């Protein structure tokens, strides 16, 4: 193996211990997923990822989540848990059950957090993207997460009351709002999230709902790492095998 640094591109997969996993829900479903851990050390924190809307093509391999699992165990010493919510299909397989429009998925979030606790994974953070942000806002308070990161929250299923219930919660909630989002742009996001002043709303100039392109991906991953393990910054654009 050459020790020459490699440029990190869309399809780059850095070293990690990767394991296909199954989650079992309280209503008897088996959900498929993957756990990625640093290759040769323990993780310092855990990202529990919640994917975009499955009826619109979202799944555990949606690109930002896939790239987080491909890079952050090596670059930032993070564990990354990805899974398909009920009825969702990906190359990893299809989770049992049917899409529950964000209602029955409460049990899916619980199953993921049960797995985190059973495996002793440290310092879990929920990272939701689009539909996944609805699940994080509605159900994240039920679990011992250290914080919540919301990517492109549409605030369709998460109500004002769901937001208000975070008021006074000491755990950080960070919302990344793309400038050109399809559903919730910065001005409206400031108004909607104002019911919970402690929520940090981050405007991402030039950003779009799907975070397409390496520049946007790098921004999202940097924002995540800056909250979860800031000592790992900056995330470099190249990787040397000697670092793994």
For residue 59, give the CATH number of its domain: 3.40.50.1820
Nearest one of 143, 56, 145, 61 to 101, comparing CA atoms: 56
Nearest one of 59, 103, 75 to 8, comparing CA atoms: 75
Assess contact for 29 and 233: CB atoms under 8 A: no
* pLDDT bucket at 3, cuts 50 / 70 / 90: confident
Q: Which domain holds residue 175?
A: 22-229
* pLDDT bucket at 53, cuts 50 / 70 / 90: very high
User: CA of 178: how far to CAs of 5, 128, 151, 173, in Å?
Assistant: 32, 14, 9, 16
* pLDDT bucket at 243, cuts 50 / 70 / 90: low
Q: What distance lies between CA 11 and its chain's CA centroid?
A: 18
Q: What is the pLDDT of residue 209?
A: 98
- Report the SS3 class of residue 236: coil
**Is 38 part of a structural domain of the chain?**
yes
* 19 pLDDT higher than 70: yes
Nearest one of 171, 183, 179 to 136, comparing CA atoms: 171
- DSSP letter assigned to residue 31: E
**Is 72 part of a structural domain of the chain?**
yes
Q: What is the pLDDT of residue 1?
A: 47
**Is 35 part of a structural domain of the chain?**
yes
* 2 pLDDT higher than 70: no
* 244 pLDDT higher than 80: no
**Is 162 part of a structural domain of the chain?**
yes
State the total domains in the chain.
1
Helix (H) or strand (E) holding 52: none
* 57 pLDDT higher than 90: yes
**Is 16 part of a structural domain of the chain?**
no
**Is 5 part of a structural domain of the chain?**
no
Q: Give the tens place of pLDDT for each residue, 163-200.
A: 999 999 999 999 999 999 999 999 999 999 999 999 99
**pTM to 2 decimals?**
0.97
Helix (H) or strand (E) holding 239: strand 238-239
**Is 65 part of a structural domain of the chain?**
yes
**Is 145 part of a structural domain of the chain?**
yes
Q: What is the pLDDT of residue 96?
A: 98
């Amino acid at each position: 193996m050459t020790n020459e640094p490699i440029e990190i591109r869309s399809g780059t997969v850095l070293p990690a211990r990767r394991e296909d996993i199954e989650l079992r829900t309280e209503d008897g479903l088996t959900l498929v997923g993957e756990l990625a851990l640093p290759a040769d050390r323990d993780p310092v924190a855990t990202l529990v990822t919640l994917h975009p809307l499955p009826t619109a093509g979202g799944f555990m391999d949606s690109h930002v989540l896939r790239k987080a699992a491909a890079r952050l165990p090596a670059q930032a010493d993070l564990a990354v848990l990805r899974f398909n919510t009920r009825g969702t299909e990906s190359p990893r397989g299809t989770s049992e059950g049917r899409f529950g429009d964000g209602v029955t998925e409460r049990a899916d979030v619980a199953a993921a957090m049960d797995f985190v606790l059973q495996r002793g994974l440290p310092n879990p953070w929920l990272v939701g993207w689009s539909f996944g942000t609805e699940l994080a806002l509605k159900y994240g308070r039920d679990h011992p997460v250290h914080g919540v990161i919301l990517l492109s929250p549409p605030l369709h299923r998460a109500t004002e009351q769901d937001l208000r219930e975070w008021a006074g919660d000491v755990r950080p909630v960070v919302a990344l709002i793309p400038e050109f989002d399809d559903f919730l742009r910065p001005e409206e996001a400031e108004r909607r999230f104002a019911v919970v002043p402690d929520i940090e709303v981050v405007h991402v100039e030039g950003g779009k709902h799907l975070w397409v392109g390496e520049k946007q991906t790098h921004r999202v991953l940097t924002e995540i790492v800056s909250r979860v393990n800031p000592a790992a910054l900056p995330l470099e654009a190249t990787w040397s095998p000697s670092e793994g």
